[in-house]
Every structure is written in structure tokens, then in C-alpha cells.
Amino acid sequence: MGTYVLKFLEHLEYERNLSARTVTSYRKDLKDLSDFFVDHFGAMDWNVSTVDRSDLRAFMGWCQKKGLGRRSIARKISAVRSFYKFLSSEGLDDLGSVFLIKTPKLMKKLPQYANKNEIEAVFTVAESRASEGSFSGIRNLVVLELVYGSGLRLGELHGLDLEALDLGEQLVKVLGKGNKERIVPLTDPTVCALKIYLGMRLDVLDKVGELFTSALLLNPKGGRLSQRSIQNIVRKLLSDAATKEGLSVHSLRHSFATHMLDSGANLIALKELLGHVSLSTTQIYMHVSKERLLEVYRSSHPRS
């Protein structure tokens, strides 16, 4: 099995261009599967082609006994399916029953997001600090504008380079999951904040003696701003604006999607803006706020 797993992981990394973190996750899931097979089959003569649906159901039970939740087990089964799909493409036969295994049913969890009043409060704090003229103040406003204004993921924002910006057309080229590029619009306030920030960015590079760096978001030493720093910046702004607890960079992306739909955005267009592969991923944002529900009711019902 080890040889097949190695080939599969190479396929994920070099052909599908998945991130190192994703490949590591697949490696761990398949390591657990291999450990289970050793327990399950013991000294019996077995190989990957002799595994059937009942064996994978036993694997799910094995994971449950180890204290894993339904979501974790579902992810492992998804990894196993991908592995066996790869084996099938490599010419292994008699694998059909493996694809019949059903994953545990998951409760759909609505993403946490901030309402429009909370977002307004966060921007009020960020704009006030930016107006003081410090590099960190204007940079942090740019971070907020790009996450909420354009719906970027944390990793996408962290990886942005200067050349990705087109301020004239108000667009930014984003490298998303699976190294897939997409073009995302920039809001007017984002462009205004960026124009101020880019001048201060040059001052920072000149001060530290850095001739050139491609990174858009910099720390005071002229290096690329880390993902952890971006998270801390956003959490501090959210906390100082007295919004609900537990919000993060990803919560602002959820807020972007929710508010776009609440304002009548097309679901397919939103899918492209968010960089989702499947429309089903975007559909989780179809929940509606109480305000919009009341608005629709009052404008549509003849006796409202």
C-alpha cells in the first residue's frame, strides 16, 4: 500500500498542485487507514484491491472509537475515495464497492459573520487609526478593505504581490486554492487606501535599505506580513470595535458573501468572486438575515 500512497501524494502535489498543508492532511488520513488495515486484517494476506465497503465501514467505526467526530471521519472517507479513484485511474480493478460507502451525515453549520452595523463599527475604528498617519494604521485598513471589500481568503491576502494590483481598472489578480487564478474587483475605498499605503510602503523599504520586494503587505522590517500577523490585526480591530466574540479574517469573508447576497447578488457571480469550485459550497450563504426576510415579507405579502 505504501507504494500506491506515495504515488498518490506525488500526484496531488505535482499534477493537481495542491498545497503542502493539504497533501500533509491526505498523508495523515491514509496513514490512519493503513494502521487500521493492519489491525483489521492482521496477518491475513491482503492488498488495496481486496478492500470492500464493509471494511471501510469498519474503518469509520475504528475512527469513532478513537474519539473522532463526524466531520473528521467524513474528511477521511473523502480522502480514501480520492485515493481509490486514483488507483482506478492507474488500472486497478474491482474497486467499485469502495465508492458505495456513505459518509456520516453532517449538520450544516452556518458560517459566522458580522452584521452590517458591526462591520461599520470596525471600519470606523480602522479609519480613525489610519487617519493618524502611521504605516501600521493605513496598512491595517488596507487589510480590512481587501478581506471584506473583495472577499479574499487569509492565504490569498498573505500571498498578494504588488504586480497583482491594477488600480486603474480597480482589479486584483488572486492566486486561490489549487493555484487557480481569478480576477476580483476592488472597491473605491480600497483603492484610496492602497494609494496612500503604497507611498508609505516605499518609505519603509527605503528606511530598511531593501531595494525591492514583491510582497504587497509588509511588516515594519520590510518583510512579507505573516498570516499570523494578519489574523492578529483583524482580531484586534474586531475586538476594539466591540463586535461579537470569535470573529476572524474568515468571518469577514463570510460577511462579504452574506451581505452581497442580502443585497441581491447573483449566486453564480458570488461563486466566481469567492473562488469556489462548486456552487454547493457557495449555497451555504443562502441563509437570509431577519432584516431582509422582513423586507421581502412586507414588500410581497398583500396583507403585510
Catalytic residue, chosen from 235, 250, 287, 292, is 250
Please name the residue ranges forming H helices in 113-248: 116-130, 135-150, 154-158, 188-208, 227-240
Say how many residues make up the chain.
304
Catalytic residue, chosen from 85, 129, 153, 235, is 153
Q: Is 250 tagged catalytic?
A: yes
Q: Is 253 tagged catalytic?
A: yes
90 in Cβ contact with 201 (< 8 Å)? no
SS3 content of the chain, % helix, strand, coil (to 5): 65, 5, 30
Q: Is 16 tagged catalytic?
A: no
Catalytic residue, chosen from 85, 116, 177, 235, is 177
Q: Is 298 tagged catalytic?
A: no
Enter the DSSP assignment of 12. Answer: I
Closest CA to 103 of 126, 151, 129, 69: 69
Q: What is the DSSP string of 71-115?
A: HHHHHHHHHHHHHHHHHHHTT--S-GGGGGPPPPP-PPPPPP---
Catalytic residue, chosen from 253, 254, 259, 271, is 253
Catalytic center residues: 153, 177, 250, 253, 276, 285
